[in-house]
Structure 1
């Protein structure tokens, strides 16, 4: 059974904590999950508010964060947020941030040189930003000793070969947060599945992006799945066919979400999305053809 210790949870032999970069990111629900019925927010207000929904403004509420795993003596970061000082054309909320993310990481006991693995679940700008930092006007890897695990399908989809077919902010993110770690020789482009250690395995879950992935944890009797942006808000647990407005292929994203949630419900996997506020980790159960929240950790 998982054991909560302070702001950390032990899942078998793996310690899980998180570092929050942006504590409150709010958007109208229609901007996040356009097809979700308005009433599903109101009907579940008693538990959605205030961590996931602001009843005063009607906005959906999310966070930008990194999951920190310590497994078999190694330190693994799952997604690296937006980053400081970025140019993100058309996305003003992501531009020119100046946060104390690295100080927060240090407060969690993690120095950049301590990181062994960086997992980018996909290559949207709010998952790759702290891959690099600006040193003397040059973007260099933030984590000098880390291997960066990057989905090969996303590397191809967002890379320069597709030119103007890629949105301007995605082109900028690739240039400052992905290309430098590839040039450094620290990147591993993977596809299908990728085993990190005896407890952690990456699996493809396409749709949100072509290379979107989930990270599965299995240690002792505990199981968990870090789902990236398969879930942006808890309403998508209740309405799993409703993909986000940021999905490259909403239909494929819905198929991946139903598959991953089904396994989580059937096998007792704790679900840890990239953007949930509150405790951030949720247990799910089947509810007919959909799913429901059975508890929070």
Structure 2
């Protein structure tokens, strides 16, 4: 089976699949990461172009994608993209978007009923959209046998108890109502905080700042390691300058502290870094460079 939207690699006893929903130039580079000036992008053109930055338009390139982690007889999805037919008036790119992520998963050998666990690294619309599907006009869990692991802090912030994010972003109520609340009603939601062991290979850890409950998922198998970092990183420039948070971070200072901590551990343990939105192979290597970090494109 060959599918241009699917890439595979193996980490110890774990198979990892990258299933791409969409990839293209997204936003002006310094709108996405406001504190990284033009010289940062230009000085690192060889690393950034074309997979992470389009120099012609000066726009950051991002991907929407879901990762599948299979090991020990278990199938885990990491984040679920934008979804299909969602009302997202605050984001024209996502508003009433149509897509075929479930079809792409099926062509990669992952049927909805095969999924045991869904991990949402945080509750933003481009990470939870395919949590549910429309069945006769009602949103229901897209993965009927799965446990959905949701950061408790995000559930509180973006749910009704937190006023749907305090009304800061117009779409937060809609996102919760069509992609999170149906999972609760079905009894498939599992709220966690601090750290959570998923199975013998996978551990969730809090990395707040981007959202109150932002998390990373660590993978370890037979001495090989990776870390799914969600939106702790939006661009490789944030590896080079971890103090620079994205425009979407609710607490930029806390996000920067989490980012540095995650990068330090990745460099020290040799973890492959797998952000939610990186283009190319979607994976980076991180190495210490004095008190800073170097980013190395991973060839697979």
TM range (shorter): over 0.9
Q: Cα distance 1:71–1:25, how it changes in 2: closer, same or farther (>3 A)? A: farther
SS of the residue 1:104 aligns to: helix
Query: Matches of residues 1-297 of structure 1 in structure 2 within 5 Å?
Result: 7-163=7-163, 165-166=166-167, 167-296=169-298, 297=300
Contact 1:61–1:277 under 8 Å retained in 2? yes
Does the residue aligned with 2:20 lie in a helix, a strand or coil?
strand
Structure 1: unaligned runs, 5 residues or longer: 1-5
**Preserved contact between residue 201 and residue 219 of structure 2 (Cα < 8 Å):** yes
TM superposition score normalised by structure 2: 0.95
Moved more, 15-24 or 187-196: 15-24
Distance in structure 2 (CA, Å) of the matches to 1:56 and 1:47: 15
More displaced, 82-91 or 138-147?
Answer: 82-91
Find the aligned partners of 2:33 and 2:247 in 1 and give their Cα distance. Answer: 6
Q: Say which SS state the counterpart of residue 168 (structure 1) adopts.
A: coil
When structure 1 is superposed on structure 2, of 160-169 and 104-113 the one drifting more is 160-169
- Structure-1 separation of matches of 2:128 and 2:222: 31
Deviations 1:68-95 (A, max 9, x none): 1002101000000000100112111111
Q: Deviations over 1:119-150 (max 9, x none)?
A: 00000110000000111110000000000000
Deviation, structure 1 residue 295: 4.0
Q: CA offsets per residue over residues 154-213 of structure 1, 9 Å max, x none?
A: 000001123262322111100000000011000000001110111100000000000000
Task: Give the CA RMSD over aligned residues.
Answer: 1.1
Aligned equivalents of 1:295, 1:49: Cα separation in 2: 11
For the 8 Å contact 2:47–2:296, the answer to whether it is kept is no
Q: Counterpart of 2:3?
A: none
Q: How many pairs align?
A: 292
Runs of 4+ in 1 over 6 A off after TM superposition: none
Segment drifting more, 151-160 vs 282-291: 282-291
Residues 25 and 64 in structure 1, CA contact (< 8 A), matched pair in contact too: no
